[in-house]
Structure 1
Amino acid sequence: MPRLGRALPYIYVAPFLAYILITWIAPVAITIYMAFTECRWTVTRMRFIGLENFIRIFTRDIYAVDAIYVTAIYVSSVLVINAFFSLILAIFVTYFVGNETIASAIRLAWLIPRITPAVIYALMWRWFIDPRIGPLNAMLKALGLPAPSDWLLTLPYSRLLMIAVNGYVGASFGMIIYSAAVVSIPKDLFYAAKVDGASDFQICRHIILPLLKWHIFFVTSWQALSLLSSYEHILALWAGAGTARAAGVEVWALYAYSKAFYTSDYGYGAALSVFLVAIGIIFILFFFKVFGFERMMQPSRVEV
C-alpha cells in the first residue's frame, strides 16, 4: 500500500502525460527530424540530407523570399490592430462609454468574427467585396473613390484585404483581455485623480496604461506568435495557396503548408516550419527585452 500511495499521483497524471506525448512531443520530434530529410510523397521513405533543406530556403527558393516579405507586412500590420488598436477600443468602450448597452453592442460587433467559423467568415467577406453585388464597391463609387475590379487578385488591395480580414478577427481577443483589465482597476483611483484635476487623457496615460503592462505584454506576444503561424483565413478567402501566391498574400505558414500538403514535399515543408518556430522564439526573446520582463517580475517595493 505505501508503494501504491507513492505511485498514485503518477497514475493520475499518466493519461495527461500520454496525451501530451502523443499529440505534441512526438509530432514536434518527428517534424524536426523530417526537416533534415528528403521526404516526398510518402513518409515511409525518408533520406537524411543534413542542412540541405535549410540551405535551399535561402539560396534556391525564390518563393521563400516573397513569403518572408509578405509575412513581415502581415504580422507587423495586423499586430498593430490586434494589440494596440484593440487597446484603444477597449479603453474607449470600458472607460469613456457610459452606457453599458452601447458598450456591450460594440463588444459584440467585434466579437462576432471570433466566434464565426473561418469558412463562413471568408464567404461573408467574399460577398462584401464582390465587384458586382458587394456593398464595398457600391459605397466607394457613391463616394467617388476608385473601386477595384477584383479585390482578391489586385495589389495592393489584396494585401489591404488580408490585413483587414485578420485584424477584425484578432482585435476581439485583445479587446476582451484589455476590457477585463480596465474593469478590474479600482474606481477610487479614477475619482482621486479627478479630484486632483487630472483629465481623462492623463488618467489613461498615468493610471490605466501602467496598470495594463502585463496585459499588453501578453496580448502582443500571443498575437505575434499567432500571426506567424496562422493562415486559415487567407487559405479560406483566397481558396488555395496558389491563388494566394498570385495575389501576393502567401505568408510563410501557408507556404510551408502548401509545400507539405499540396506538393507532398514533406521534408522541405518541415524545414520551413522549423525555421518559423525559430523566428517565433526570437520574437519571444525580443518582447522579453522590450517589455523589461525581468523588471516586471521583480516584487513591488511598496509594502502593503
Structure 2
Amino acid sequence: FRENDDYKELITELREKLEDREKTRDLSKKVGVFFRGTWLLPRFTPPIVYGVIWLWILSPNRSGLLNGMLMTLFGLDKPISWIIKYPLQVIILTNGLIGASMGMVIFASAIQSISRDYFWASRVDGANWWQEIRYIILPMIKWPVAFITAYQTLSLLTSYEYILIITQGGPYYKSTVWSLYSYLVAFSSYSGTFEFGYGAALSTVLVVIGIIASIFYWKVFKMGAMIQPSKIEF
C-alpha cells in the first residue's frame, strides 16, 4: 500500500463486513429458533386444546375462522361444512402438522450437525446442490430418517384422539380408523355393549402390524449396522 490511510481504510472495511456477517448469523439463528418453536406448538399443545382450536377454525358457520375469512375477503356466499365435506383431508392436515413439526426439528438439527468441511470439499470438487443432498446430507441423516419413519408409522397406526375430538369418526364412519374403532367397541356403547374382549382383539391386530412394520424398517434402513461400534482402531 502506498499510503497508510488506504491500509487503515481496508482494515476498517474488512472489520465492518465481519461484524455485519456475525450480526446476520446471529439474526438467522434467532429467526430459526423462533420458527422451530412455532412449529413445535402443535406438538406441545394438549390434544383436547389442539382439537378444539381446529373445531373453531373449521366451524361450519360464519364464526369459524376459515369460513369467516373466506366470506369476508373472497365473498363466499355461504359457509362450508369442512369436517363433513372433507373429513379425511381434515384429519391428514391436523395430524400432518404434528408429525411435520417433530420431523422438521429433528431433521434441521441433524443437518446443522453435519460438518461444513464436507460441503466445502464438495464445492471444490464441483458438486452441485443435488449431489450435496444425495451424497452428503442423506447419508449423514440416515438414522434420523429411520427413526422418524418408524416412529410416525407406529404413532399414526395407534393414535385416534384427534380423530375422536374433531370428526368423531364421521361422517358415516369415513374417518373411523382401526384404533378408533377398537376404542369405541371396548369403551363406549358403540356396538350396544362394552365389548372389552373384542376391543382387545382388535388392538392385538395393531400390535402385530406394528411389530411387522418395525422389523421391515429394521431391515430396510439396516439399523443393525448403524448401531454397531466404529471399526476404527486407535
Matched, 1:159 2:85: no
Report percent identity of matched pairs: 45
1:101-120 Cα distance to aligned partner (Å, 9 max, x none): 32222212210111111111
Structure 1's unaligned 5+ residue stretches are 1-97
Matched, 1:262 2:188: yes
Aligned to 1:107: 36
1:32-88 Cα distance to aligned partner (Å, 9 max, x none): xxxxxxxxxxxxxxxxxxxxxxxxxxxxxxxxxxxxxxxxxxxxxxxxxxxxxxxxx
Matched, 1:249 2:175: yes
Report the CA distance between 1:145 and its aligned residue. Answer: 8.4
Question: Out of 101, 109, 118, which is 1:189 matched to?
Answer: 118
* Alignment coverage as a number of residue pairs: 202
Aligned to 2:203: 273
Largest Rg, 1 or 2: 2
Q: Is the 8 A contact 1:140 1:146 kept in 2?
A: no
Aligned to 1:293: 223
- Secondary structure of the corresponding residue to residue 248 of structure 1: coil
- Secondary structure of the corresponding residue to residue 185 of structure 1: coil
Cα distance in 1, alignment partners of residues 133 and 75 from structure 2: 38
Match of 2:111, as an amino acid? V
Cα distance in 1, alignment partners of residues 115 and 74 from structure 2: 45
Give TM-score scaled by structure 1 length.
0.60
Report the CA distance between 1:297 and its aligned residue. Answer: 4.8
1:177-231 Cα distance to aligned partner (Å, 9 max, x none): 2222112211221222223332333222211111111111111001100111111
Superposed, 1:56-75 pairs within 5 Å as none
Give TM-score scaled by structure 2 length.
0.76
1:99-138 Cα distance to aligned partner (Å, 9 max, x none): 2232222212210111111111111111111231223234
Q: Is the 8 A contact 1:159 1:249 kept in 2?
A: yes
Match of 2:92, as an amino acid? I
Q: Is the 8 A contact 1:221 1:284 kept in 2?
A: yes
Cα distance in 2, alignment partners of residues 146 and 199 from structure 1: 50
Cα distance in 2, alignment partners of residues 165 and 136 from structure 1: 14
Cα RMSD (Å): 2.6
Superposed, 1:1-304 pairs within 5 Å as 99-131=28-60, 132-140=62-70, 142=73, 149-154=80-85, 157-238=86-167, 240-241=168-169, 244=170, 246=172, 248-263=174-189, 264-297=194-227
Structure 2's unaligned 5+ residue stretches are 1-26
Q: Is the 8 A contact 2:154 2:210 kept in 1?
A: yes
The structure, 1 or 2, with the larger RCO (C-alpha pairs under 8 Å, 6+ apart) is 1
Cα distance in 2, alignment partners of residues 302 and 293 from structure 1: 19
Q: Is the 8 A contact 1:158 1:247 kept in 2?
A: no
Match of 1:211, as an amino acid? M
Report the CA distance between 1:176 and its aligned residue. Answer: 2.2
Aligned to 1:58: none
